[in-house]
Amino acid sequence: MPDSKDTDDPSSSRPSGEDLPSERYLNLLHERFPHVKAVMDELVKHSPTFRDLVDEYGACADVLDRFASYRSATSLLQEYGSLQLRLERELLQYIQNYPGTDDNS
Amino acid sequence: MLAKIHHLRSVESERHADSSFEKILRDHLDQLLGSSLFDASARSRDFLSFVVEETLAGRGSTINQTAIAIGVFGRGTDFDPILDPIVRVQAGRLRRSLERFYLLKSGSPVRIELPKGGYTPSFVRDADDCSGLMAVESETDWPSVVVHEFESSPADAEACQNVAEEIGRELHRYGDIHVARRSDVAMVDVHNRPAVRFELHGRLHQVQGGYCTTVRLVDRKTGEQLWSEELLCGENEFSFRNLQDVSRVIAARVGSEHGIIIRTLSSEYRARSPDQAVGYSTLRRCYHYFFSFQVGEFIPTLEALANFVAQQPENALAWTHLARLYLANYSFELSDLHTPIERAIHCGYQALLLDPASPKTRCVLATALLVKGEIAAAQHELSQALKLNGQSLAYRETIGWLTALTGNWDQGMVLMRDAVSRNPFSLAHVNHGFWAHHLMLGNFESAYIAALAYRDPSFFWGELMKACSLGHLGRTSDARASVADLLRAKPQFAYRGSTLIGYYIKSDSLRQLIEEGLRKAGLVLNRQ
C-alpha cells in the first residue's frame, strides 16, 4: 500500500519516543493539575502514549489561545474546548492508572 | 518449550485478489462502529469511515490532513494544518480508541489500524483467533494470566519469543498469580483448559536504535483494558537498557503484589465473615488489607488467613502472607493482639520449606529476622534471594532496601539504585532506604525529598520521615505540622517511637539522628 505520511504531523516527524513534548505544554498541565506533577514528569519520560496526549493537549491549548479574541471563531473555539476537555479526561485516566499515584495507591 | 509465534499477516497486497475481503472488512467496520466497546466520538467514527472507504476505493495514497479536514471536519479548501491541527489531534484519539476496541474485542477476523505518522489505515487479519478457548475464572479460583505470543515481523520473531518467555518466568517468580503461555494452553485438551481471568497481549517492533514494545492487559471478566503501555529500549535516550528489562518491568507492572492484577482483585474484595472467605478469596482479602490498611480489618483478615493455612498447610503463599501479617502487627503495633515476632519467623520458615525458591518468602523472612535483630540470619536470606533471582527486577529493590537496613549500606544502595533506574514502577520502601542513607550522610534536603517520595499511606513512617528531615532542616513550622500528623497516625509514638524505629533502624548513630531530627521538630521520644 502506498504510504501517505503527512510530514506536517509532528508526531510523525520524529522517531517514537525520542523527543519530549514541548516544555510549555507540560507546564500547562503542571499548572492545571499540580497535584500530579511528579507523576506526569515520570510518565513523560517513560510513556510515548502520554507524550502524545500532552502534545495533543498542547495543540488544543495553542488553538484556543490563538483564536480567543476572534469573534468569528466561536465554533472553532467550542470544538477545541470540547476536545481539550476530552483529552484532559484521557490524561487523568492515564495518570490514575500509573502506580504510585495517590488515588491509586 | 516451542512457542508458536503469533503474527499478524498484512493483507493489503492481497486485497485486490481477494474480493471477499472487502466485504469482510466492511462488515467488520459496521460491527466496530456499532459496538459499545468502540468509545470514539461521532467525529472520530466519521474519520475512520472516511479513511477506510477512501482506501478501499484505491485512494489511500492521497489521504492527507487536508483531505480529511475537508471530508470529515467541515473545513474549507483554505485549511491550514499548522493553524488548525484538528486532524492530528483527532487521529491520536482515534488510534487510542481503535487500540482499546481490539483489546476488548478479541477474535476479530480483521483489524483496522491507523499507523502513527500517516492517515492511511492498514488492514490486518488475525492469524490466530483465540476467542472462546478458556472460561473466565470464578472468584474462588486462583487468578491466572495468559501471556499471548507477542506480535512482530518475522525478523523479530526470536526477540519476541524471548520477551514472552522472560515475562512468563518473571511472573512466576512473583508467585501471586498463575501464569500460562498461550501456546501451552492451546496444547491442553479443550475440556481441561484452565479458567483464565486476564490476558496479556503485546507487539514488538524495531525503532531507530532499539525496540518498541506495546503491551495490553485485558480483564476477560469485564472486558476492560486494565493497562496499556509502550516501552522503548535500546541505546542512548531510550528508557530501558534491553528487552530483558522491558520484560521484567512488564511483569512487575502486571503481576507483582503491587501490580495491576492484584490491585484489581483487591479492589473487588467485599468484606465478609472469615467463614465465607474460601480459597483464593482469603488471599484476596489479605491483599485488600495490605492496600487499604483499615485497622478494623486486621484481625478478621488474620483469622481468615490462619484458618486458610490450617485447611491448606501446603500453601506456601498463604504461610508467607500470614508471616507478613504477624510481622506487621508486631513491628507497627497495629492491634492489641499479642503476636510475638517469632510467630512471623515460624510462618516464614514454614513457607520456605514449601517453596525454597520464593524470593517473596525470603524477603518477608529476612524482614522478620531484621526486626528481631537476627542480622546474620537476615543477611543469609537476602543473599539467597539474590543468588536465586539475581537479575530479576521483581525483588531487587526490596533486597537492596533490606540489605542496607542490615548494615550493608554500600551493597544495598547499589541494588536499590540499579533497580530504580531500570524499573519506573519501584515501590515506596525504596525511598525509605534512600531517606535513611541521606540522613546518615547529613544530606537533609535530599532526605526530605525522599520522604516526600515515600508515598506509602500506611502506618506512620512517612510522617516520621518528613518530621525528622524538616527538623534537621530547621523548618520548624512544617516540622511541627508533620509531628502532628505523626501523632494522629500513632498517638503513642512519644512513648513507643524509640522501639518502633529500632525495629527497622539498627544503627545506633542513625537512630540518634532520627531522634534528634524529631526533637528539633518538637517531639521528644521517651526512652524505655
> Over the stretch B98-122, which tens digit does the pLDDT of each residue have?
888 877 776 677 788 888 878 988 8
pLDDT, tens only, B66-83: 999 999 999 998 999 989
**Interchain CB distance below 8 Å, B455 and A105:** yes
Task: Say yes or no: B118 contacts chain A, CB-CB below 8 A.
Answer: yes
Position A10, amino acid: P
Mean local confidence (pLDDT), A23-30: 88
Query: How far, in Å, CA of B274 to CA of B285, rounded?
Result: 9
Burial string for B408-422 (b: 16+ CB within 10 Å, else e) reads bbebbbebbeebbeb
Q: What is the pLDDT of residues B183-205, one digit of tens each?
A: 665 554 444 555 678 889 888 88
Interface touch B208/A12, C-beta < 8 Å: no
**Chain B contact for A102, CB < 8 A?**
yes
Residue of B63, B229, B290 to mutate, testing the A interface (most A Cβ within 10 Å of its Cβ):
B229
**DSSP conformation letters of B53-107:** HHHHTT-GGG--HHHHHHHTS---TT--TTT-THHHHHHHHHHHHHHHHHHHSTT
pLDDT reading at B14 higher than 50: no
Please check the confidence at residue A6 and state whether its pLDDT lies above 70: no
For residue B298, pLDDT over 90 is answered with no
- Contact state of A3 with B118 under an 8 Å Cβ cutoff: yes
Q: What is the mean pLDDT of residues B32-40?
A: 86
pTM over 0.80: no
pLDDT of B300 strictly over 80: yes
Chain A contacts in chain B segment 141-200 (CB below 8 A): none
Q: How confident is the model at residue B236 (pLDDT cuts 50, 70, 90)?
A: low
State how far Cα A95 lies from the chain centre. 12
Chain A, nearest residue to B59 by Cα? A2
| Among the partner residues B89, B96, B212, nearest to A60 by beta-carbon distance | B89
Which of A61-70, A73-82, B124-133 has the least mean pLDDT? B124-133
Residues of B in contact with A100 (CB under 8 A): 425, 428, 455
> Which of A87, A97, A100 shows the shortest C-beta gap to B227?
A97
The one-letter amino acid code at B328 reads A
What is the DSSP secondary-structure string of B227-258? EEEEEEEESTT-SBSSHHHHHHHHHHHHHSTT
- CB-nearest to B118 from A12, A66, A104 is A12
Res B472: pLDDT: 96
| Tens-place pLDDT, residues B342-372 | 999 999 999 988 888 788 899 999 999 999 9
pLDDT at B294 over 50: yes
Segment B242-247 mean pLDDT: 87
pLDDT computed for residue B237 by the predictor: 56
| pLDDT tier at B308, thresholds 50, 70, 90 | confident
Give CA separation, B487 vs B258, B283, B522, in Å: 27, 31, 12
Would you say residue B277 has pLDDT above 60?
Answer: no
Which candidate in A7, A9, A76 is best for mutational testing of the B interface (most B CBs within 10 A)?
Answer: A9
Answer positive or negative: Cα dihedral of B9, B10, B15, B21. positive
CB within 8 Å of chain B, chain A residues 70-89: 76, 79-80, 83, 86-87
Of all residues in chain B, the one with the smallest CA distance to A89 is: B93
Q: Is the pLDDT of residue B129 over 60?
A: no
Q: What share of chain B is helix, strand, coil (3-state, %, to 5)?
A: 60, 10, 30
- Nearest-CA distance from A89 to chain B in Å? 12
Question: To the nearest whole number, what is the mean pLDDT of chain B?
Answer: 82
Sequence-ordered list of residues with C-beta below 8 angstroms from that of B69, at least 6 positions apart, any chain: B75, B79, B81, B84, B86, B87
Please write the tens of the pLDDT for every residue from B312-333. 888 888 999 999 999 999 999 9
Q: List the single residue in B with minimal CA-CA distance to A41.
A: B424
Nearest to B309 by CA among B287, B283, B272: B283
* Most confidently predicted of A90-94, B153-157, B186-190: A90-94
Nearest to A59 among B12, B85, B208 (CB): B85
Contact A56 B120 (CB under 8 A): no
Judge contact between B67 and B91, C-beta under 8 A.
no
Judge whether residue A7 has pLDDT over 60. Answer: no
Q: Which residue has the higher pLDDT, B272 or B389?
A: B389
Position B107 scores a pLDDT of 64
Q: Which three cell numbers stand for residue B139?
A: 472468584
pLDDT band at A100 (very low <50, low <70, confident <90, very high): low
> Mean pLDDT highest for which of B26-35, B174-183, B257-266?
B26-35
- Residue B293 clears pLDDT 70, i.e. is over it: yes
Residue B185: what pLDDT?
Answer: 55
Dist CA B431 CA B444 (whole Å): 14
Inspect the interface and report whether the beta carbons of B212 and A16 lie closer than 8 Å: yes
Instruction: Give the number of other CB atoms < 10 A from CB of residue A68.
Output: 9
pLDDT of residue B227: 83
Task: Round the CA-based radius of gyration of chain A to a whole number and report it.
Answer: 15
The answer to whether residue B42 scores a pLDDT higher than 90 is no
Distance of CA B291 to CAs A22, B295, B456, B478, B508, Å?
Answer: 36, 12, 10, 28, 32
- pLDDT score recorded for residue B279: 65
Q: Does residue B175 register a pLDDT over 50?
A: yes
Is 70 exceeded by the pLDDT of residue B276?
A: no
pLDDT digits (tens, 9 = 90+) for A38-53: 888 888 877 778 888 9
- A88-92, B133-137, B432-436: which has the minimum mean pLDDT? B133-137
For cell 476477560, name the residue. Answer: B220
> Can you list the alpha helix ranges (DSSP code H) found in B200-339?
243-255, 260-268, 280-292, 298-311, 316-332
In this predicted structure, the answer to whether residue A2 has a pLDDT above a threshold of 70 is: no
CB contact under 8 A, B239 and A90: no
Q: Is A36 on the interface with B (CB under 8 A)?
A: no
Range with the lowest mean pLDDT among A59-68, A91-100, B92-101? Answer: A91-100
CB of B331 less than 8 A from some CB of A: no
Q: Determine contact: B256 vs chain A, CB below 8 A.
A: no
Query: ipTM, 2 decimals?
Result: 0.82
Better-predicted residue by pLDDT, B519 or A67: B519
- Measured between beta carbons, the chain A residues lying within 8 angstroms of B88 are 6, 9-11, 56, 59
pLDDT tens for B480-512 read 999 999 999 889 999 999 999 999 999 999 999
**Nearest chain A alpha carbon to B226:** A97
Q: What is the DSSP letter of B358?
A: -
Distance CA B364, CA B347 (A): 10
| Cα–Cα distance for residue pair B118/B479, rounded to 1 Å | 54
